[in-house]
């Protein structure tokens, strides 16, 4: 009988993974997300949309990680944009999960708002699709393949939750119309929805789920904003070694983001990370567990 022991490693004991290694680990991690899909689908729960939201968040960060692997050391600013998107999903998942753990019903309502907003956004951006698909040189080719009418009907028929509380004050009603996070009866002001407020709650959740003493989510968000929005901040180096070091460091961190949210999924499913995942975490600089 063979016994496998996963030993706690120190930062200096792990060789620095190169691009090939990080790409391989990213793909293996993505495959783990695909494996989780069926487990999530088969989980019995009265809170179906909360379950869908948790998995959708994990899947989104996995997609962003694969997008980052398709960049290179000459695309560091583009990487920062994707990392900012990943950070926002991470924060929203942890913020949502805190609400869900405290009150399953509120979490379910919040998840329903998320998917209802998605349907409403599709209806807004697709209202002219019929005419556009007839004349656009790219879209004409797929006009018969794209099920626009079905998608439109599905979005119209998705009536999950009333988005606005008619008895709320005007400012709050406007916020409810604009932001899926503004759950009527729970969110009282715009301050409750600020990124700082959500990141503070997320950081506390990180202590519980990832064993992190300190998660600098808000500081990271401020930094990434400087690269995401048009500003003088940019990172481009003529020294290839310097560019490569920054790129690999950020790719390693993005891989860690995915493993963080995988932990949320495992916690939700009440399972421990599988052996292959625990072994992956010994191959890059992941110190949340």
pLDDT, position 289 = 36
Q: What is the pLDDT of residue 3?
A: 41
Domains of the chain by residue range:
23-280
| Per-residue pLDDT at 6 | 45
Gap between the Cα atoms of 87 and 224, Å rounded: 9
Q: How far is CA 180 from the centre of its chain?
A: 15
178: tokens are 């604009």
Contact at 8 Å (CB) between 283 and 14?
A: yes
Q: How far is CA 272 from CA 14, 45, 235, 289, in A?
A: 23, 19, 39, 12
In this prediction, residue 13 carries a pLDDT of: 63
> Tens-of-pLDDT digits for all 289 residues of the chain?
344 444 455 556 667 899 999 999 999 999 999 999 999 999 999 999 999 999 999 999 999 999 999 999 989 999 999 999 999 999 999 999 999 999 999 999 999 999 999 999 998 988 888 888 888 999 888 888 888 888 888 888 888 888 888 888 898 999 999 999 999 989 988 899 999 999 999 999 999 898 677 889 999 999 999 888 887 777 776 788 898 999 999 999 999 999 999 999 999 999 999 999 999 999 998 864 3
List, in sequence order, the alpha helices (H) in the chain: 19-42, 48-69, 76-102, 104-125, 129-135, 148-157, 170-178, 195-210, 217-228, 240-269, 275-280
Return the number of other C-beta atoms located less than 10 Å from residue 225's C-beta: 14
């Amino acid at each position: 009988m063979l016994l496998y022991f996963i030993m706690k490693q120190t930062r200096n004991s792990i060789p620095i993974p190169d691009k090939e290694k990080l790409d391989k680990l990213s793909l293996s991690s993505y495959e783990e997300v695909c494996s989780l899909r069926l487990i999530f689908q088969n989980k019995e729960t009265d809170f179906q949309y909360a379950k869908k939201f948790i998995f959708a968040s994990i899947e989104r960060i996995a997609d962003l990680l694969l997008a980052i692997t398709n960049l290179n050391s000459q695309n560091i600013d583009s990487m920062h944009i994707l990392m900012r998107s990943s950070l926002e999903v991470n924060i929203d998942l942890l913020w949502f999960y805190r609400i869900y753990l405290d009150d399953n019903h509120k979490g379910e309502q919040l998840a329903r708002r998320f998917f209802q907003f998605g349907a409403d956004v599709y209806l807004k951006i697709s209202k002219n699709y019929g005419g556009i698909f007839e004349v656009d040189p790219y879209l004409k080719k797929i006009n018969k393949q794209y099920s626009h009418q079905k998608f439109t009907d599905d979005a119209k028929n998705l009536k999950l939750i009333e988005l606005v509380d008619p008895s709320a004050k005007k400012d709050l009603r406007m916020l409810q119309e604009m932001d899926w996070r503004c759950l009527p009866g729970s969110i009282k002001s715009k301050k409750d929805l600020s990124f700082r407020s959500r990141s503070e709650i997320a950081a506390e959740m990180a202590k519980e789920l990832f064993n992190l003493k300190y998660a600098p989510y808000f500081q990271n968000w401020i930094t990434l904003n400087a690269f995401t929005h048009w500003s003088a901040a940019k990172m481009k180096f003529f020294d290839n070694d310097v560019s490569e070091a920054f790129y690999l460091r950020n790719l390693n961190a993005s891989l860690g983001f995915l493993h963080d949210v995988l932990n949320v999924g495992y916690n939700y499913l009440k399972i421990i990370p599988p052996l292959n995942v625990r072994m992956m975490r010994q191959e890059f600089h992941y110190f949340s567990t």
